[in-house]
């Protein structure tokens, strides 16, 4: 029994190990951007290393000879380093981190601006909806009041009244046309005051004529409405 358990354990362990090896072989890896430069005691890379200096660290260049340079770090420790590992320009990593921070800040600002704009648009739409709702309520109230007035009135008497008003309007319109025709005829040998007076009267008459025409139109509409009301909503 123990022998079988041992065999099963070995097989399972082998399968796991094989899977890990395959994963390692197929996985994409990268060279790290953080390195450490050895600070040597003497002007040779085979000399003992005093300390390891991380990439991006500022150094003071004291002197440079061939492929090695004597430098001091921020703590004042001096030593020799491989010249190929130092540069006049700072490491790109701090700049990348700074740029990433700016990007995050801009993304946050943009997100807040969008939220503010969306809120403003929603408030504007709500105001428009409220205005339209108030207007609808006002029109509904006016329509209800008009219907109540029509229902409370006598349709026959209303029709007779409308007919009477229409006849009076036609008579007044005919009289007005005659007056306007007389006023439009040229008049000679009259003073400027008289002419201006006639023009004023003419303007008043024209305005009155417009009012009468509108009144006739309103009368026709009310006649048609009363007629359709008497015949169940149909125009006869």
Higher pLDDT, 204 or 135: 135
76-111 pLDDT, tens digit each: 999 999 888 888 766 666 667 777 777 887 778 777
Q: Encode 48-79: b = buried (16+ Cβ within 10 Å), e = exposed.
A: eeeeebeeeeebeeeeeeeebbbbebeeeeeb
Looking at the domain 1-88, which fold is it? SH3 type barrels. (2.30.30)
How many Cβ atoms from other residues are within 10 Å of residue 222's Cβ? 18
- Quick count: other Cβ atoms within 10 Å of Cβ 45? 13
Q: Is the pLDDT of residue 58 over 60?
A: yes
Are 172 and 212 in contact by the 8 Å Cβ rule? The answer is: yes
Residue spans of the domains in the chain: they are 1-88, 91-152, 154-230
Beta-bridge partner residues of 39: 51
User: Is pLDDT above 50 for 67?
Assistant: yes
Sheet with 36-40, strands from edge to edge, namely 49-54, 36-40, 78-82, 68-72, 60-65
Does the pLDDT value for residue 36 go beyond 70? Answer: yes
Q: Is the pLDDT of residue 75 over 70?
A: yes
- The pLDDT, as a whole number, for residue 28 is 73
Give the model confidence (pLDDT) of 162-203 as tens digits.
666 667 666 666 655 655 555 455 544 444 444 444 445 555
- Residue 190 and residue 193: Cα distance in Å, rounded? 8
Return the residue matching tokens 């995050």: 104
The pLDDT score that the predictor gives to residue 190 is 45
């Amino acid at each position: 029994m123990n022998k079988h358990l041992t065999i099963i354990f070995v097989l399972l362990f082998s399968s796991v190990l094989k899977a890990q090896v395959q994963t390692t072989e197929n996985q994409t890896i990268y060279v790290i951007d953080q390195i450490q430069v050895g600070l040597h005691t003497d002007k040779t890379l085979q000399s003992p290393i005093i300390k390891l200096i991380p990439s991006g660290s500022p150094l003071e260049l004291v002197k440079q000879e061939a492929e090695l340079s004597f430098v001091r770090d921020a703590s004042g420790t001096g030593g020799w380093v491989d010249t190929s590992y130092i540069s006049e320009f700072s490491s790109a990593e701090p700049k990348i981190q700074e740029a990433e921070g700016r990007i995050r800040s801009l993304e946050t600002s943009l997100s807040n601006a969008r939220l503010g704009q969306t809120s403003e648009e929603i408030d504007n739409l709500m105001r428009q909806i409220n205005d339209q709702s108030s207007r609808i309520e006002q029109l509904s109230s006016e329509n209800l009041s008009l219907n109540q007035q029509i229902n409370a009135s006598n349709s026959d008497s209303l029709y007779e009244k409308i007919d009477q008003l229409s006849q009076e309007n036609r008579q007044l319109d005919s009289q007005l046309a005659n007056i306007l025709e007389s006023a439009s005829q040229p008049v000679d040998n009259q003073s400027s005051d008289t002419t201006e007076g006639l023009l004023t009267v003419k303007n008043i008459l024209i305005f009155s004529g417009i009012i009468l025409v509108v009144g006739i139109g309103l009368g026709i509409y009310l006649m048609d409405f009363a007629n359709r009301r008497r015949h169940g909503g149909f125009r006869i």
